[in-house]
Amino acid sequence: MADVTLSPLHRADGSATFTSNGYSVVAAVNGPIEVQRRDELPEEAAIDVAIRPAAGVGGVRERHLESILQSTLRHVILVSAHPRTLIQVTLQIISSTEGSFNVGDLPQATSNLPILPALLQASILALLSTSIPLSMTLTATLVAVDGQRLKSDPSAEELKVASSIHVFAFSSHGNLLVVESEGEFGIETWEEAYQNARLACRGDEENDSESEDVSMDSDNDTKLEDVLRIAVRQKVAREQKWKLDLRSATT
């Protein structure tokens, strides 16, 4: 299950760590801050994403991931609320199941998709920790397909033998934000993977609408949206603690 810490870094405006399935990412957000003239957008905030790999310096692989994240976060953050500013998201990969910590051990051509859900989740948590106005939150997950079998949160071995791997990210409104699928698959398999990912991210929506409060204490907290919700609830509780302390002190 995913392990989340909000605001572990003190000097950044907001930060979060996200650990799940062998991938661990720490994210820091600074913003809105002053923007360089050439990056300045007159009507919205510029978003800058920087990804650092677990070992070595970033290369073209990281640039590709950055561009996926950048174009996603542009729609998640209410960029029009902060025109002519910069929101800077820095992500440091702490560990990944690709394992090797030797620089240059990982061929550039290997797929960079498995880390993407963790990067998306960490960045959205850091943005929540920064209290930057967002239009929605998102949840992301990885599905591997091996022949006819679907596997969410696959291990490194399962990824190696998988015939195709899929990353899906859903917004809190239920829209499909990001799709990255590679390998060899039919469109039916893709739809199955989509349903599978949707279930992992957003839970069984039909059940939820029928009985909101029953689902809260059932085993439904395995869905990723609840991980997000619990993390924020804990953060709010911690930040409100002084109020409760004050109240108990006065009585």
Partner 1 sequence: MAIKPSPSDSTSNPVQTLTFPALVFAKLAPTTFLTAHLSSPHGPLRPSGRSPSQVRTPTCHTGSLTHAHGSAVVRCGDTAVVCGVRGEILRAEDIPDYKPQPEEDARRDYEDEQDEQALKITIMAEEEKKLAEIGSGGHNRNSQSPDRGNEDEQGRRKRIRREDSEEMARLGLLVPNLELATGCSPDNLPGGPPSLLAQTLTQRILTLLHTTHLLRMGDLRLWFHPRAPSSTPFKPADEGEDEDLARPSVKAFWALYIDILFISLDGNAFDAAWLSVLAALKDTRLPRAWWDGDRETVLCSDDPSEARVLDLYDMPVALSFGIFEGDGESKGKRWVLVDMDGFEEGQCREGGTVVVGDGGRVVRIEKDGRGMVGVKEVRDLVERAKERRMEWIGVLG
Q: Is 3 helix (H, G, I), strand (E, B) or coil?
A: strand
Site for partner 1 contains 92 (CB under 8 A): no
Q: Long-range contacts made by residues 156-162, C-beta under 8 angstroms, separation at least 24?
A: 156/22, 156/97, 156/98, 156/99, 159/97, 159/111, 159/114
Site for partner 1 contains 67 (CB under 8 A): yes
- State how far the Cα of 213 lies from the Cα of 113, in Å rounded to an integer: 36
Residues 110-169 that bind partner 1 (CB under 8 A): 110-112
Q: Is 251 helix (H, G, I), strand (E, B) or coil?
A: coil
Among 8, 22, 83, 183, binds partner 1 (CB under 8 A): 183
Site for partner 1 contains 80 (CB under 8 A): no
Site for partner 1 contains 107 (CB under 8 A): yes
Counting every residue written for the chain, the total comes to 251
- Whether omega for the bond prior to residue 32 falls within 30 degrees of 0, making it cis, is yes
Site for partner 1 contains 68 (CB under 8 A): yes
Site for partner 1 contains 55 (CB under 8 A): no
Among 148, 187, 250, 251, binds partner 1 (CB under 8 A): 187
Site for partner 1 contains 83 (CB under 8 A): no
Selected range binding partner 1 among 71-79, 205-213, 225-233, 242-250, rule: CB under 8 A:
71-79
The smaller minimum CB distance to partner 1, of residues 15 and 53, is found at 53
Tokens matching residue 178: 């990001």
Q: Is 164 helix (H, G, I), strand (E, B) or coil?
A: strand
Angstrom distances, CA of residue 102 to CA of 46, 61, 107, 112: 34, 16, 11, 17
The smaller minimum CB distance to partner 1, of residues 67 and 155, is found at 67
Site for partner 1 contains 85 (CB under 8 A): no
Amino acid at 92: Q
The smaller minimum CB distance to partner 1, of residues 186 and 241, is found at 186
- Which parts of this chain interact with partner 1 (CB under 8 A)? 60-61, 63-64, 66-68, 71-72, 75, 107-112, 170-171, 173, 175-187, 190-191, 194
